[in-house]
């Protein structure tokens, strides 16, 4: 369990934050613009498979603030997972607000300006919900939340399932792919979302002692 947590003053945590700051700087200075634009244009060209289009839409809808908060609230209400649920709730809220601030007031990168050419979707695509009401792009709020979920659940289950927790990262991976596929974010946006989500979840999991939840699972 402890091996998976980067202590705030550890080398691993510093490297994690440094990686996020480097990517943020590259995006802010538009150093990744050509890569991002060419990648998003490729995804625009391959859309049109009805099954794949709907699958990507489902993943991106699951990552919205309301479905994620419902899941966290259920974890909080259930007595056996209350501590984990509290950490999830706080991390998701902090991650959503903080990523919204970065998107709208710090980086201020516009979202991809390309028309979605895929199959008709059940509901119209909407930008990520933020309390700030802006339409920035970096980092992805959907991927930030998905990474929070994967990281916290992975930590909580790491003692009982030493290797199985890795499978949880399929969720943020699919979320990231869906956001690019549906032309809602650039590749660097979702990479930044992964790093930012892990940083937020790691800090709260350490400070709120998620390890005590794991100890209870053993008994």
Q: What is the pLDDT along the chain (219 residues), one digit of tens a residue?
A: 444 455 666 777 889 999 999 999 999 999 999 999 999 999 998 888 899 999 999 999 998 889 999 999 999 998 888 888 899 999 999 999 999 899 888 898 998 988 888 888 777 776 665 555 567 899 999 999 999 999 998 888 777 776 777 888 999 999 999 999 999 999 999 999 999 999 999 888 887 766 655 545 454
Domain ranges for the chain, please list them: 2-218
- At 7 the pLDDT is 64
- At 212 the pLDDT is 58
Topology of the domain covering 2-218:
Vanadium-containing Chloroperoxidase; domain 1 (1.20.144)
DSSP the chain: -GGGS--TTSHHHHHHHHHHHHHHHHHHTTTTHHHHHHHHHHHHHH---HHHHHHHHHHHHHTSHHHHHHHHHHHHHSGGGHHHHHHHHHHHHHHHHHHHHIIIIII-PBPP-----SPPPSS---PPP-TT---B-SS-HHHHHHHHHHHHHHHHHTTTSTTGGGGGGHHHHHHHHHHHHTTSS-HHHHHHHHHHHHHHHHHHHHHTTTHHHHHHHH-
- At 129 the pLDDT is 53
pTM above 0.75, yes or no: yes
- At 8 the pLDDT is 62
């Amino acid at each position: 369990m402890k091996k998976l947590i980067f202590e705030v003053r550890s080398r691993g945590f510093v490297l994690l934050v440094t990686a996020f700051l480097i990517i943020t700087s590259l995006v802010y200075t538009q150093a990744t613009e050509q890569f991002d634009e060419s990648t998003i244009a490729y995804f625009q060209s391959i859309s049109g498979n009805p099954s794949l289009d709907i699958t990507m839409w489902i993943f991106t809808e699951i990552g919205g603030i309301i479905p994620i908060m419902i899941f966290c609230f259920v974890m909080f209400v259930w007595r056996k997972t209350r501590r984990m649920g509290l950490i999830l709730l706080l991390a998701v809220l902090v991650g959503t607000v903080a990523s919204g601030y970065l998107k709208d007031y710090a980086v201020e990168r516009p979202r991809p300006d390309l028309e979605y050419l895929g199959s008709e979707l059940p509901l119209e695509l909407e930008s990520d919900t933020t309390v700030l009401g802006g339409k920035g792009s970096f980092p992805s709020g959907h991927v930030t939340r998905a990474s929070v979920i994967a990281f916290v659940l992975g930590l909580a289950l790491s003692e009982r399932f030493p290797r199985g927790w890795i499978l949880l990262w399929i969720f943020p991976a699919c979320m990231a792919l869906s956001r690019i596929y549906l032309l809602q974010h650039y590749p660097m946006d979702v990479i930044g979302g992964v790093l930012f989500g892990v940083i937020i979840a790691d800090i709260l999991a350490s400070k709120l002692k998620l390890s005590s939840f794991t100890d209870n699972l053993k008994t």
